[in-house]
Amino acid sequence: MFTNRFLFIRRLPTFIIVWRHNLINPITQISTSHSQELYNWNVAMTQSNKRKTPKNTLVLFDKLITQHSDITPDFITYLLVLGACIRLGNLNEGKRIHEYIQQRWSTTIEKNEEIKIHTCLVQLYATCGDLKTAEEIFYKEHLDQHAIPVNTLMKGYIINNRADLAVQLAECLPKNERNIVTFLLWANAIAQIGDIQMADRIHRELNTLSSSTQSFFAHDRRLINALIDMDGKCGNIIRMEETFKNMKQPDIISFTAMAKAYIVNDLPVKALTVYDHLKHTNQIGCDEVIYLVASNAAGKLGLLSRARSIHDDIISSGIPYETNEKILNTLMDTYGKCGDLNSAREIFDKLKIKSKPSISSMINIYGINSHALEAVALFYETKNNLSGNIQSILLSVLTACAHGGLIREAQKIFDDIPTDKRTVKMWNALVSV
């Protein structure tokens, strides 16, 4: 029950392309634009993107091309409007702009400008989940030898759960083209896969860099945090701790990444030690993720007193947790693992929207605490309000029946499941009953 906080690419700017689609250089613009009027349009679109009103950027672009046919957009105009589509996640608008660019592609556009536009298009399609088109543009335009386009597609692969392809891209990029963002994304991809041999390779690659580059990288907190997260998820706790120890100024993300790694590697006591250090040095503030990690650690250890203490800390922090489903679900799960069913149910009842994971978790809590009848009752209480895929809930209630030996109830629930929806895990749960 953690957020995606540890996918450190989320901490990068929305546009990892260093040309910044939302900023233009007035001097460069005046010297390269077709007219002062185009410069004014580009400034207006820039300001719109800076104000985080990308819809207005699209409106401005449409006004430009429909009402001012005498003004020809340049590559900066295209970067700005494509950047707006990326920010909106609007693939249809992006395709429309892409088609417009193709129809009016100018032979006056320089090679470096082409690379920027094509890279922006790769980012658009990858961000919106169309990896096939992103790859077609990427390879057709021979972008695989340039760091920024490679980084862009790597990020697209990662957010679309194809970290394996991101790793392949990083490894194929010429060593002299790799930059700090390449290594940051590379580490994130390996963390998603959890392959310790891949983690060993990236460390070897980092060690082959010049001493000045290594020194520069060592001061980049984002990269070091990503390496800590990667080694933790790959199970190399010793190297993770060494990396952390060598950090110049670890921040809350560094500590939280390490604490989460301890949870993943079944070292909840160490996770609580990290939490206690942050608490005693007043470094937590309103960072909800460390509370989730600490609560999870208390649950793994079955320490009810610690669970309540952490709950009190959350209340004292000022975080509006009673409307935060992630925190409530974590607390509910923790109390359940600690055997405090009343507190778990009290939190469940506070949920304004009882999602499928919440219902499944509460049913599971009843099951592991030998309250199978309550689990079945909750299932029927919520069943009629559910739609779509409820396999996790069905599995939870069948497992609860197995814990409580409720043969008839389990058989009845199973018989009501359509034949094509019965999974191997459900059959196993029924057999367990």
Q: What is the pLDDT of residues 335-355, one digit of tens each?
A: 999 999 999 999 999 888 888
Q: What is the pLDDT of residues 243-255, one digit of tens each?
A: 999 998 899 999 9
Give CA–CA dist 123/131, Å, rounded.
10
Q: CA torsion, points 241, 227, 246, 14, in degrees to nearest 10?
A: -130
Q: What is the pLDDT of residues 149-208, one digit of tens each?
A: 999 999 999 999 999 999 999 999 999 999 999 999 999 999 999 999 999 999 999 999
Q: Which residue has the higher pLDDT, 421 or 23?
A: 421
- Contact between residue 347 and residue 335 where contact means Cβ atoms under 8 Å apart: yes
Amino acid letter, 237: I
Give CA–CA dist 15/212, Å, rounded.
27
Region of 266 on the Ramachandran plot (φ > 0 left; ψ -120 to 50 alpha; else beta): left
Whether residue 125 has pLDDT greater than 80:
yes
Q: What is the pLDDT of residues 34-91, one digit of tens each?
A: 578 999 999 999 999 999 999 999 999 999 999 998 888 988 999 999 999 999 999 9
Q: First-to-last CA distance in the chain? A: 28
| Alpha carbon of residue 216 to chain centroid | 26
Residue 251 CB-density burial (10 A; 0-12 exposed, 13-18 middle, 19+ buried): middle
What would the mean pLDDT of 318-322 be, rounded to a whole number? 85
